[in-house]
Amino acid sequence: MTGGVVSQRSEGTPQGGPISPLLSNILLDDLDKELERRSHRFCRYADDCNIYVRSKAAAERVMTSITGFLARTLRLKINPQKSAVARPWEHTFLGYSMTNHKEPKLKVAKSSVVRLKKKLKMLLRQSRGRNLGTLIETLRPVLRGWIVYFRLSEVRGIFEALDGWIRRRLRLVIWRQWKKPKTRAKNLMKRGLDQARACKSAFSGRGPWYNSGASHMNQAFKAAYFKNAGLLSLQHELIRLQSLS
C-alpha cells in the first residue's frame, strides 16, 4: 500500500508466501554454521533465533558478536525492539516458554494463552443468539488446532484452567440469552435447582460474568453437560495426543 493505494511490488517476497522460508534458510545457513562452529546451543525458525549460553555476561558478548557477524557477513540488521538478553523462562519462542527449574519444562507462553482467549471471546460475541451446539461446533476447530500445536507442553495446569474458562464463557452466553430474571429462574429450575435458590440467583442483580461463574450456574451446567454437548477438553485432548507420541 502506497498512500492508501494498492501498487505492484517491485522487490521483496510476500510475507507468509512459500518462498519466504526457503530464502530465509538459504541466507541464514551461514548463521547456523557460525553458531555450530562456536558450539552454541540454538533454535531458529526462519529469522527468529534463540541462542542459549550459561551466563548474562556470555549472552551479552554473544549478542554483540552475532549482531556484528550478521551486519558484516550477511548485511542484515537486528531489530533492537525484538532482541534481548534474557532468562529462557522470560522469553517466548514460537508461542512456547519454559519453567525456571534446574531441568526446565516446556510450557505454553502467557502471550499465547492471551491470544487464544481473545480469539474465543470474539467468536462467542459473533455467535450470540445461536444455540449451544452451534457455538461448540464453531469453537471445535480452533481448540483442536491450538492443542495440536501445543501438544509438546510438559506443564498441563494451563489446559485445565482454560477448560474451566471456556465453560464459564459458554455459561455466560446462556445466562445472557435467558435475558429476564423470570426466564432465568424458570430455566434454573428446569436444570435441577430448587425454586428458592433459583429465584434468589435469578433476581440477585449481579452481572452476567459473576453469574457465569457462580455456584448455581456451575450446578446447572456441569462439565459433563458440555462434554455431552461435544465441547473439546483441552486437558483430555493433550493427554490423548501425548499418549500417541
Chain segment 78-110, per-residue pLDDT in tens: 888 888 999 988 889 999 999 998 888 999 999
Please name the helix (run of DSSP H) or strand (run of DSSP E) that holds residue 184, with its range, or none.
helix 181-190
Distance in angstroms (rounded) separating the CA atoms of residues 185 and 197? 9
Distance in angstroms (rounded) separating the CA atoms of residues 126 and 124? 5
| Averaged pLDDT for residues 140-144 | 96
pLDDT at 46: 85
Identify whether the C-beta of residue 178 lies closer than 8 Å to the C-beta of residue 187.
Answer: yes
Identify whether the C-beta of residue 172 lies closer than 8 Å to the C-beta of residue 209.
Answer: yes
Cell reading at 234:
483441552
Give the confidence band of 18 by pLDDT, cuts at 50, 70, 90: confident
Distance in angstroms (rounded) separating the CA atoms of residues 167 and 229? 11
pLDDT at 217: 97
pLDDT at 7: 80
pLDDT at 42: 94
Q: Which residues contact 151 (CB under 8 A, 6 or more apart)?
A: 238, 241, 242, 245
Cell reading at 110:
502467557
User: Which of the pair, 46 or 112, is modelled with greater confidence?
Assistant: 112
User: Which of the pair, 153 or 17, is modelled with greater confidence?
Assistant: 153
pLDDT at 127: 66
Give the confidence band of 125 by pLDDT, cuts at 50, 70, 90: confident
* Beta bridge partners of residue 52, listed in sequence order: 41
Give the confidence band of 62 by pLDDT, cuts at 50, 70, 90: very high
For residues 118-148, one letter each, b for 16 or more C-beta atoms within 10 angstroms of the residue's C-beta and e for the rest, the string is eebeeebeebeeeebeebbeebeeebeebbe
User: Which of the pair, 11 or 179, is modelled with greater confidence?
Assistant: 179
pTM above 0.85, yes or no: no
Give the distance from CA 31 to its chain's centroid: 30
Identify whether the C-beta of residue 42 lies closer than 8 Å to the C-beta of residue 35.
Answer: yes
pLDDT at 177: 92
For 234, other C-beta atoms within 10 Å of its C-beta total 23
Identify whether the C-beta of residue 44 lies closer than 8 Å to the C-beta of residue 27.
Answer: no
Is the predicted pLDDT of residue 129 greater than 70, yes or no? yes
